[in-house]
């Protein structure tokens, strides 16, 4: 399993008790991919730019796709640019992969008498137990990504400078996205207030 998969499994855990915006999670998944690609030697970090290494197949198909998506032309891509480009619609891609592998399942819930809802939760698999162990141990990468999207309050220290750079970029990108949501909500409120003032 990979860090992005562990992050998505963790975010889907009912026991966590916190929900994550899909856009925030997509940015964090792209950050998790960057960290795993660095660990695999598929990319190195020069200042804040992702410099691709030799192309070699990776065990995880989605990570392999991420490696293929790296910008291989100098001056290469900043971590922030990678997060926004690679992160687009990344959550649905990982959800589909985990569901196809049997790592996620639908859980039916009944509310009141007639209303039934379903939620996606992790299946009882070794991958779920591995992700839970990483999370319980506050493993720095997974815990740092979780803190960036609001799944936990404290961010553990990270020894590796490259990983710290990626985690900081994820935090900044999530904050930027949250600010954009606030601006849009304010514009909607202002438009609604203007409609009321005009009698619409």
The percent of residues above 90 in pLDDT, for the chain, comes to 70
The residue ranking higher by pLDDT, 60 or 195, is: 60
Question: How many Cβ atoms from other residues are within 10 Å of residue 67's Cβ?
Answer: 21
Supply the pLDDT for residue 164: 96
Q: What are phi and psi of 117, to 5 degrees?
A: -130, 160
β-partners of residue 51 are 44
Continuous H helices in the chain: 3-11, 22-39, 61-68, 79-86, 90-100, 126-136, 140-148, 161-198
Contacts of 190 (CB under 8 A, 6+ apart): none
Domain chopping of the chain, boundaries: 3-198
Residue 138, Cβ density class (10 Å: 0-12 exposed, 13-18 middle, ≥19 buried): middle
Q: What is the pLDDT of residue 56?
A: 85
pLDDT: is 192 or 149 the higher one?
149
What's the pTM value of the predicted model, to 2 decimals? 0.87
Judge contact between 145 and 162, C-beta under 8 A: no
What pLDDT sits at residue 105? 86
């Amino acid at each position: 399993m990979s860090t992005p998969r562990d992050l998505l499994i963790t975010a889907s855990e009912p026991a966590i008790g916190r929900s994550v915006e899909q856009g925030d999670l997509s940015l964090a998944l792209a950050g998790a991919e960057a960290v795993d690609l660095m660990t695999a030697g598929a990319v190195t970090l020069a200042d804040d730019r992702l410099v691709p290494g030799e192309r070699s197949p990776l065990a995880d198909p989605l990570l392999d796709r991420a490696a293929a998506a790296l910008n291989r032309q100098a001056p290469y891509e900043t971590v922030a640019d990678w997060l926004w480009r690679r992160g687009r619609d990344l959550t649905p891609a990982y959800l589909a992969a985990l569901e196809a592998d049997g790592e996620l399942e639908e859980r039916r819930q009944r509310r009141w008498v007639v209303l039934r809802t379903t939620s996606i939760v992790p299946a009882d698999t070794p991958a779920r137990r591995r992700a839970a162990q990483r999370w319980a141990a506050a493993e720095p990468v997974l815990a740092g990504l979780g803190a960036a999207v609001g799944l936990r309050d404290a961010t553990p220290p990270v020894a590796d400078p490259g990983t710290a750079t990626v985690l900081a970029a994820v935090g900044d990108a999530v904050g930027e996205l949250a600010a954009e949501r606030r601006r849009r909500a304010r514009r909607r409120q202002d438009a609604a207030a203007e409609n009321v003032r005009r009698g619409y």
